[in-house]
Chains A and B, each alone.
Chain A
C-alpha cells in the first residue's frame, strides 16, 4: 500500500512537472511566432502605408481595445455572446446526448434517422441563420438555437459511439447483478461513455461560438458578432479586430474549460 501510494504520488508529481513544463514550452512556442507576427504586421502597415480603415496597426487595435474595455462596451458585448454560447452549448449537449442515447439503443432507429441528421449537417448554418432570426427574433433565442444546432452533431456522434462501445461482458455482469435500467445507465453506461462524450463536447464547444456569432451577424443589436458588423458599417477595422480577437480568446477559454472538466472527471482514464 505504502509502496503503491508513494509510487502514484511520485507519478502525480512527475505529471504536474511535466504538465508545467509542457505549458511553458507551449507558451514559448506560441508566444514567439505571435510576437514576430505582430512586429511584421506593424512593419507592413508602416512600409506600405495602408490607410487605417483597411488595415490598422497593432498599436491602433490596442488603443481601440483600451477604449472599448474602459467604457465597458467590450465586456457588455462579450457577456452577451458568452451567455448565448453557454446556453447553446448546454442545450446542444443535452439534446445531443438524449438523442444519442435513444439512437444507441436501436440500430433500426439510427438507420431511419441518420440520413436526415447527415443532411441537416450539410446545410450551412450561415444559410439558415437569417431564417431563425425571422422566426425567433433578433434576441438571444435565435443565437442560442444556432449555437446548439451546430454543436449538436459532434456530440451526438460521440455519444452514440461511446454508448455503443460499452463492453458487452460488463453489460452481462450488470444483468447478472440484476441491476435496473437506471442503475445500468448511471453506474456503467454513462461513466464508460464519458470519455467519448466529452471529446465530442470539446469539439462542440468551439463550434458553438461560430453558431452564436453567425446568428449575431444575421441580425442582432448586441454581442461580439454585432460589434464586428458595427465596425464594418463605420469602417472601424480596429474595432473589428478587437471583436475578432475577443472571440478567439473566448473560444479558446471555452475549450480549455471543457478540457479542465474532462481532466477532473476522467482522472481515472489514461
Chain B
C-alpha cells in the first residue's frame, strides 16, 4: 500500500546521479547552478523535483538526459555511465515542441522513423500510444488544431514511443491552465499505471508533486542542492480527491516549508 518501498536499497537504481555540479560561465562572471547533487531513482518510481525558479532544475534534467555533459560528477543509467543522449530516455518539455508540418501520428512516429524502424510497425505503435493518451480520433490532425493539453498528450505519446526506461518531464504542465493541468496530472498517473515507467518530473507545483510522486526531492535555490527528500506515503491508486485528505495537507505543508 505504501510507496515507501521505492527506496533504492532493494532493487538497483534505474538512474543514479552522483555529486553533480555545474557552473555556467557568462560575461558577468561564473554562476554556480548545481552543487554536489546526488540521488537515485528506483525502477517504476515516480520522483518529483521541486524548487524555486533558478535552482537549476532544467540543467539537472538535461544532464540526466545526456544532453549536457556534467562538469563534475556523473549520471548512470542502469549502472552504465551516461555519456550522451539515449533512446531509453524519453523527454517532455514544458512546450509540446511538436513539428507543425507533421500530423499527430507523424509526430509520434518520428523517433521510430529516425531509428529506421519499418513504417507499418511504427504507425501501429504510434497509434497504440495515441489511443493510450486518449487522442485516437486525432491521429491525422495538425498540431495547430490541438489545444495545449492535447498537444502535451501527443508529446507524452512521442516520449513513450521508444518504450524508454525512464521518462524525464520538465514542467510538462507548466504552460497549461489550472483545470487542464489538474486533469493532465490524473491522466499522467493513469498512463504511468498502465506503462509502469520510471518517471522524473520537474514541477513548480507542490500540490502536483505530492499528488503524483512516490518521493519529492526539494532543491535549494542557486546553487541547487538537495535540501530534503520526502516519501509520499499515500496509497495508490490515487485520484484527484486525495489532495483534500489531512495527510496530503500536512505533507504539502512540510514540503512547502522545506523550500523556504
Contacts and interface: CB of A to CB of B under 8 A. Distances in A.
Interface string B127-168: 000000000011011101100000000000000001000000
Interface in A102-118: none
Given A173-B97, A191-B99, A1 B137 contact: yes
Contacts of A178: 85-87, 114-115
Contacts of B100: 268-269
Interface in A145-198: 167, 169-170, 172-180, 183, 187-188, 191-192
B111 interface: yes
Contacts of A172: 62, 65, 67, 91
A123 interface: no
Contact of A176 (B86, B95, B101): B86
B204 interface: no
A8 interface: yes
A169 B95 contact: yes
B170 to A, nearest CB: 9
Given A1-B137, A178-B115, A270 B144 contact: yes
Q: How large is the interface on A (under 10, 10 to 19, 20 to 34, 35 or more residues)?
A: 20 to 34
Given A4-B141, A268-B142, A173 B101 contact: no
B184 interface: no
> At the interface, is chain B mostly helix, strand, loop or mixed?
loop
B115 A177 contact: yes
Given A1-B138, A4-B145, A268-B100, A183 B93 contact: no
A183 B113 CA distance: 10
A268 B115 contact: no
Given A4-B145, A268-B144, A175 B99 contact: no
A192 B99 CA distance: 8
B110 A187 contact: yes
A77 to B, nearest CB: 41
Interface of A: 1, 4, 8, 167, 169-170, 172-180, 183, 187-188, 191-192, 268-270
21 contacts: A1-B138, A1-B140, A4-B138, A4-B141, A8-B145, A169-B95, A170-B97, A172-B62, A172-B67, A173-B97, A175-B67, A176-B89, A177-B111, A178-B85, A179-B114, A183-B114, A187-B99, A191-B101, A192-B99, A268-B101, A270-B144
